[in-house]
Structure 1
Amino acid sequence: MKNIKKHIKKVLPIGMFLATCIGIVVLSCDNPDYEALNRVPAIEQLTINSINPSTGDIGTLVEVKGTNFSVSPANNKVSINDLAVTVTEASDSILTIKIPEGATSGNIVISHGSFTANGPAFSVVDIPTISDVDPSRAAIGDVITITGTKFSTTLSDNIVVINGLPAIVTDATETSITTTVPEGSVVGFGDVTVTVAGQLATSSGFIVEPAITELNPLMGVIGTEVTITGTSFGSTIADNIVTFTGSSGEAIPAVVTAATETSITTSVPQGAFTGPISITVNNVTITSDEFVIDQAPVTIIMEISIEEDNVESIDGEMDLDSGDLELGELSSSSHDSAPIIGLRFANLEVPQGAVISNATIQFTADTNSDANPVELTIYCESTDDAAPYTETLFNLTDRGRTTASVVWTITEEWTRDDRGPSQQTVDLSSVIQEIIDRPNWVSGNSLNIIMVPTGVSATVTSTSIGREAEGFTTSTPGDTPELTLTYDQ
């Protein structure tokens, strides 16, 4: 009995273990979730349906479409002519592969597990590239250099087209082609292409431009007719835009009167200064060498036109309606000095910085006088734009004066109503130049001339005989003081 119990104790654990294992097996066979979770998926036969592109250079990315690829790139073994190919992306139906260095044309082969698929052929070709075109704009006949890769060293194997026209190749290496812009090229923007063994490389944005070969004449004045000779101009007047250079570098439009593809006729427009001539055809602009404008001097004549613009100041007192101007003599017995004369010329149209070549003021004699000398030192008011005179005490004498001055000495007798060289000042150009050269002087500003008795006229008496000139009056406007000024543009 004891032996039976001992046997049962030995057998029972073994039986329980066997029962548990049987239960697990039965449960596993009856549970589909367990099977789905633990079964290794079967690898099925691969297929390759297409590749895109089917032609390319080393490094080309190729998309391979098919079925039953591995979603893990490393599990897809791809080759071309037994040379391993890298898989960069993978799904069960699309692989992206990169053609490796050293590859030659051949079929794409893919293996996964124990299955292999032989796909379409991929053709490895040398595709040229263009990295630079120098220069980037040129005229017909100009030489250009195309830099890139995989050109042919045989001239005829490189087919070059510039803006739609074939160009002649004059030199070639694997990385450089020399050619010229072909005859008949149309001015404008376009492409440069190189084709080698049927493979095309393109560079966009090349500009065919017109060319200027001659200006006739090379200099002229406003209105001078100018003939511009060159190539690739517009064949009609409207196709050509011509401009000259303005005083500040701005474009001054010129009128085109005749045009062919090799010649343009125009004339120098008002406002033109020395500088290049520009021609625009099909939105492409070129410039010539410098065309010299031989500027004719400009002479302007300005008269005092209101009484308040020719004044006298005696001991600081202002006289705005004297009617006549005492030059180096007393204006009345109540004063013991000759007056300072002020002449304001309003709206003087002289450009800033213009070179004053001559300037004088013409007076008209108001009375007869003898030959006693008179001396006046003449200044300008040192301001950008002279303000009108007022009756305020010292309004004229307190105004600043230029550093430059000139002395006018009158020794001739004057006869009433004379208006000639004896009644004309010396040249005032150096004095006025100081004002015109001021940075803030603007054409149209006003200029103030100040005439101060000096020398023999600094101390006068009632018996001193000076000169007396007409001021502006409405009754005799033709006798008014008159400024004549000449400047070079």
Structure 2
Amino acid sequence: MRKQFIFSKISSILILITMMLSLAIISCDDDFRIIPEPQENQVINSIEPSFGDIGSTVTIIGVNFSPVPSNNRVSFNGIRASVSSATKTELIVTVPEGAITGPISVGKIIDVEGPVFSIVDAPQITEVSVIGAAVGETVIIRGENFGETISDNIVAFNGTVSEIVSISNNEIIVIVPEGATTGPLTVEVMGLIGMIEVFNIAPEIISFNPERGIANDEITILGTNFNTDPNINNVSFNGVLATVISATTTELIVSVPLDASTGKIAVEIENLLATSENDFITVPSIEAFTPEVGTPGIEVIISGANFSTTPEDNIVSFNGVSAVVTQSTATSITTSVPDGSETGLIMVEVNGQIAISTNDFIVDNSVVTIAIPINDINDDVEEAEDGRMLLDSGDLELGEFDTFSTPDVGLQKIGLRFNNIVIPMGVIIQEAKIVFVADQTEGANPTEMTIFGENIGNASPYTEDIGNLSARSLTTANSVWNIPEWVGTETPIADRTTVDISAIINEIITRGDWANGNSMNFIFQASGVSAGATENNVGREAETYDIDNPQEGAQLIITYMTN
């Protein structure tokens, strides 16, 4: 009896020791701890939304969810879904591929079934009638899965809801709403959205400032639906393209183009056009004028911008005295100093807009311009390559191979003799040029003539002696004239006027045998690209003096300043 009691006591002690060792092992190493998670019943209270398309996001509200997303098993009618975030009361999940309408279930070991989630196809836009439109214009949207009635669909242009005109199973007709801007075009049905990423709304010009200006002025245009890339915004002033300096969706800063004229400002983006309600008024500007000093009657060329191309629409005055405009372009006016004018500013008025020069034009009586025309039929002559003299030619071939006679005249020298030239002693020659009258023949080929003077104080008349022109001594001074294109009898005076030959005249009038009333002879020789001409259509043709048409002869224009 005593032995049995001792054995039981020993057994109890061993069991106690074993339990204590087990507890020690557990306390020494957490990796061996096994703490089962209590199994609480999960409950789905609601889902939001209750319908959607594959890939849409659904929020599940309930209790006893795991805050670890991967510990929650969510299925849509048996198709496992991905849980993106989780709390004990809320799960955010994505409708999986292959899901069909049916209950949502959540579970750890045992699934708990919740409300039915309906798979509904989202609307899709497959085509629009235009890639862009203006506010108030009609747009036709074609696609799939649209709502059956107008009220079932919400159409928006970059968030601005539009009016729906009509709807069918695969077509919606809408009007671009006020306030619409470039951006996504969306169709929403039952909270599901179909879209195209960019629908262009036509730009709109609200205002511009300043409302008038000169070339190169910076103008700020305010509006809507501009492109942030300056190069995409095509801005024009009355049809003349301008440079866009900077751009935002509501503001463009542009530079007034040189040839701009008064008219509308237009902004074109992706073939969508906006036009200003008011005209931008271009103001003429004077950049320079030449010469800067002259006497009444001298020709003056005014350079600038925004002049009228119709001469009489440019009102020009020299210190208040009106001048006559003979030629004009958008950037140039040709006029002459009026009689009675005095030193002062030049003013140009175009359509009521006025430009005033920054510098005075100096009217100086000490500056004299004289014009000496050819006055004899034998004073504008040609010399053939073989030395023959042609004193009565009907025109002058400059840099042209003449085949009119037999044998060919060839590449000719031209002689012009001007008589009764009065230039007082000691004057300073400011400028000298010869002005031709072009005949009806056009010429655009490069043509170069070198101009010399006859190195003598009083040039003798031409004769028919062989080589009469070549035999004459030439001045050291010479001028190379690259002749611009001639367009027949309408050739501008500037294009048929030689380069400055004042150095040649200075050499002649400083000779000891020069006297007032003497004659000067000028000799033109083909040079450069014209030196080897072999064709009769590569140069220029000028008229010669005719007793019945004396105005067709060349003129020598000399401007000099007295002491």
TM norm structure 1: 0.45
Question: Bigger relative contact order, structure 1 or 2, given CA contacts below 8 A and separation 6+?
Answer: 1
TM norm structure 2: 0.40
